Amino acid sequence: MKSANERGLKSAMEHPSGRLSTHEAHGAAGSAFAQYVGSDVLLSLQNTRTRAETEPSFLIITQVTELLFKLAHTEAVRARDLLEDDDVPGALRALRRFRSTCVSLNGTIEVLSSMGPTEYAEYRGALGDGSGFQSYMYRHLEFVLGHKVAAMARLHRDDERVHRDLLRALGEISLYDAALRLLWRQGLAVPESMVDRDWSLPYTEQDDIVAAWHVVYTEQDKHAELYLLAEALMDAAFELCRWRTTHLMVVERVLGSKGGTGGTTGASWLRRAAQHRFFPELWTVRTGL
């Protein structure tokens, strides 16, 4: 006897038009897949505001990007917590998934690079004050990676729940802080001031931390796990920085030097953001190796 899923597949294949009905495409009642993924809700969120041909691409890619931000944040938090528990292998697995997520981010932004400036202009006005600058999920991601800027949380003070959650995240230990605390626990010369501080303050590069990572790189046999951690962090930072740079290039291709939506400065602001480096001492240490 055929299962319900098999019967549904056969019915769809025999549909005269060769296409799934709207009901079938959104997941018939009882479909385990649709229930797990939330297809009915997920596929109903693409509410375009114009008839522009490229607006669906922009909206869907933006929604996918937000989901990938959430996944990257999930893996970064997991890696941080595992480092706090001295579980380096577990943290390395989470960082591998984080890097893969950032690779996917780079793939999604490339979809938007195919859009011409006149195509974007067809629906740009319908975005109103909306801007990717307002993504609170991205702020959560930056905070857990150690890029703490309190002003970014204040931008969301009109939304009590979001603002409260961002302030909490601002005061939590970051992934990079957890890595430095691990180095300290394993006997590297990390100053105690760096392992117990006000986590909400912006991180500034420290010569002592550069020296600690230098030991990890030059004594790999002795610090094998820490070396793998350093390179995993660099893999993650590299892919995220690549996404920022690609984002800048796409905006320049579509908008030129015009201001962004929502009153942002567009490419000029993204250019400054692209210059930022997560885990700064891991970049600096390479000069002395």
Q: What is the pLDDT of residues 212-245, one digit of tens each?
A: 999 999 999 999 999 999 999 999 999 999 999 8
Handedness of CA 259, 264, 265, 268 (dihedral sign): negative
Task: Read off the pLDDT band of 274 (50, 70, 90).
Answer: confident
pLDDT at position 280 over 60: yes
Q: Let me know the angle formed at the C-alpha of 271 by 173 and 152, rounded to the nearest 5 degrees.
A: 35
pLDDT in tens, 173-227: 999 999 999 999 999 999 999 999 999 999 999 999 999 999 999 999 999 999 9
What token pair was written down for 80?
A: 């941080």
| Cβ count within 10 A of residue 67 | 14
| Amino acid at site 48 | T
Average pLDDT rounded to a whole number, residues 76-105: 97
CA distance 229 to 218: 14
Q: Let me know the angle formed at the C-alpha of 232 by 228 and 237, rounded to the nearest 5 degrees.
A: 150
Task: Read off the pLDDT band of 50 (50, 70, 90).
Answer: very high
pLDDT at position 250 over 50: yes
Handedness of CA 158, 161, 164, 168 (dihedral sign): negative
pLDDT computed for residue 6 by the predictor: 42
The residues near 144 (Cβ < 8 Å, ≥ 6 apart) are 73, 76, 77, 80, 169, 172, 174, 175
Is the pTM of the predicted complex or chain greater than 0.75?
yes
| CA nearest neighbour of 117 among 259, 257, 254 | 254
Average pLDDT rounded to a whole number, residues 260-264: 56
Q: Specify the higher pLDDT residue, 84 or 274.
A: 84
pLDDT computed for residue 266 by the predictor: 64
pLDDT computed for residue 264 by the predictor: 58
